Every structure is written in structure tokens, then in C-alpha cells.
């Protein structure tokens, strides 16, 4: 992918989550079943936990309910979503740090300490191009303690006829299908106004290859969420 196209797609999503962050939070008032499953099964009570793309902080409430007593570091590029996360952070009993960080920046990890585990839910599909995704995952790998692990999810929206109908032509934003990579989609948003987002539709083999290239050992994969319990692809990798 040409740098100008990647920059265009990143800017599209930055603008979306800046302008529609509050509307997005209103529509995401719950944790997906796959996220709940991983929090219950895999997060130790006193872990040092990094949430890459923490959004509006719904994870904090479930951690609190589980009696989490570790340290939580949440990163996000959307000011409205981070503000919502800060409000939730005021209501929990464990240590929380929330940082405004853009994963497209090579220095997004500066000041982030070593952690035992990382979460990366519904984030990777917003990063254009293999190289950027790999750079981010390698950085997460480097932040993990020995035997640390990462859980990530990506949307599997083409499994849903309803969501598939939200895909728009690239010409809407002045691009063509030849400008973007296979699996790249332009998807509309209709709550609180009309917006557009860039999303990459992964295959499971593609995700597995990406984690392997980043140095992770694959430990678990499963489908969950939405219609038929298959609109999210989940992968767990260990350092």
C-alpha cells in the first residue's frame, strides 16, 4: 500500500473516532461475549495489564467486578473515548493509567512499562497495511514480560448480511479498489450522524501469520459475538 493511501485511511479513522466517539460509546454499552470470556479465563487478579485501544473503558467495570487488584494501562487515540474511560476509572479500586496514544506513531509505547498481558480488542482491523500491523504487534511483544500473553480480536463483519450491506465504494472517499489491499473495506456509520471508517477484514490464517511474524506462539483461536456467535475472530498469543 502506498504511504499516501495508508495516511488517508488513518486520517479517516482518526476523524471518525474524534467526531463520533461519544456516539460510538453509546452504541457499545456492553462487552462482547468473547471479551468477557477472555477476561474471566485469563486475567490474573494482580496482573500488570495493557489495553491497546481501550476505547471508553468498559473493560474496567468487568475487572472491578472480578476483584482485579493489579495495574491497568489503557491507550487510545480518541479524546472522547478516553474521557469516557476516565469517568469509569474514577469508580474502580485498582491502579489505572490512561494515555492518549496513536498506534501509527513509532513512539506510541514510550513510557509504557513491562506488562504481564496485553489486550487488543477491535483495534488491529483499523490499521492499514501488513507493515504497520506487524510493527504494532512486535512492539506489544517487546512490552510483555517473559511468558506474557496478548489477546486480540478483529471484526468478522462479512459474515453478517446486515453489516455487509454497510460496505461503501472506495470512490466515496476518493480512492479505488486498486489503491487498497485485499480485504480492506469502507464501512458506514449511522448513529448520531453519518460517518465512514476503514476496516480490514482478516482471515484466520492471515491473523495467525501476523502473530507468528511478530514473535508470538499461538495458544487459542475462536469465533464469538453477534449474529450466530461468529462476528468476531479472537486469537491469543504467548511470548
Residue 235, C-beta contacts closer than 8 angstroms, at least 6 positions apart: 151, 152, 153, 204, 207, 208, 211, 218, 220, 221
- Which candidate, 61, 55, 34, 140, places its Cα nearest to that of 98? 55
Given this model, what pLDDT does residue 25 score? 80
DSSP 86-135: HHHHTT-SSEEEEEE--TTSTTTTTT---EEEEEEET-GGGS-SHHHHHH
DSSP designation for 194 = -
CATH 3.40.50.2000 assigned to 3-157+201-238 = no
Angle between helices 33-42 and 58-65 (to 10 degrees): 40
Please, is 228 exposed, middle or buried when counting C-beta atoms within 10 Å of its C-beta (0-12, 13-18, 19+)?
exposed
Please report the DSSP string for 142-193 in residue order: HHEEEEEEEEEEEE-GGG-HHHHTTEE-GGGGT--TTTS-TTEEEEEE-SSS
Other beta carbons within 10 Å of 23: 17
Residue 78 · residue 16 · CB < 8 Å: no
Model confidence, pTM: 0.95
**Cβ(201)–Cβ(158) under 8 Å?**
yes
* H or E, element range at 137: helix 130-143
Rg of the chain on CA atoms, in Å: 17
pLDDT at 192: 85
pLDDT at 21: 83
199-216 burial: b if 16+ Cβ within 10 Å, else e? bbbbeeebbbebbeebeb
User: In which residue ranges of the chain is pLDDT below 70?
Assistant: none
DSSP state of 231: S
Q: How many CA atoms lie within 13 Å of 190's alpha carbon, on the beta-carbon side?
A: 7
The pLDDT score that the predictor gives to residue 72 is: 98
Of the candidates 88, 211, 139, 215, which has an alpha carbon nearest to the alpha carbon of residue 72?
88
Domain boundaries, the chain: 3-157+201-238
Amino acid at each position: 500500500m502506498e504511504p499516501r493511501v495508508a495516511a488517508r485511511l488513518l486520517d479517516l479513522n482518526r476523524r471518525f473516532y474524534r467526531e463520533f466517539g461519544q456516539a460510538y460509546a453509546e452504541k457499545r454499552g456492553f462487552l462482547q461475549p468473547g471479551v468477557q470470556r477472555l477476561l474471566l479465563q485469563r486475567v490474573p487478579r494482580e496482573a500488570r495489564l495493557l489495553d491497546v485501544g481501550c476505547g471508553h473503558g468498559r473493560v474496567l467495570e468487568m475487572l472491578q467486578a472480578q476483584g482485579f487488584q493489579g495495574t491497568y494501562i489503557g491507550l487510545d487515540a480518541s479524546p472522547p473515548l478516553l474521557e469516557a474511560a476516565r469517568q469509569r476509572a474514577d469508580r474502580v479500586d485498582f491502579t489505572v493509567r490512561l494515555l492518549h496514544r496513536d498506534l501509527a506513531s513509532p513512539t506510541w509505547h514510550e513510557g509504557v512499562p513491562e506488562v504481564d498481558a496485553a489486550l487488543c480488542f477491535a483495534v488491529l482491523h483499523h490499521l492499514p497495511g501488513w507493515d504497520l500491523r506487524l510493527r504494532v504487534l512486535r512492539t506489544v511483544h517487546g512490552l510483555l514480560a517473559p511468558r506474557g500473553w496478548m489477546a486480540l480480536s478483529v471484526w468478522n463483519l462479512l459474515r453478517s448480511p446486515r453489516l455487509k450491506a454497510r460496505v461503501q465504494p472506495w470512490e466515496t472517499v476518493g480512492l479505488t479498489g486498486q489503491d487498497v489491499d485485499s480485504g480492506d473495506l469502507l464501512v458506514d456509520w449511522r448513529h448520531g450522524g453519518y460517518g465512514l471508517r476503514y476496516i480490514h477484514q482478516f482471515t484466520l490464517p492471515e491473523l495467525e501469520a501476523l502473530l507468528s511474524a511478530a514473535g508470538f506462539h499461538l495458544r487459542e483461536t475462536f469465533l464469538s459475538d453477534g449474529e450466530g456467535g461468529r462476528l468476531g475472530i479472537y486469537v491469543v498469543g504467548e511470548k
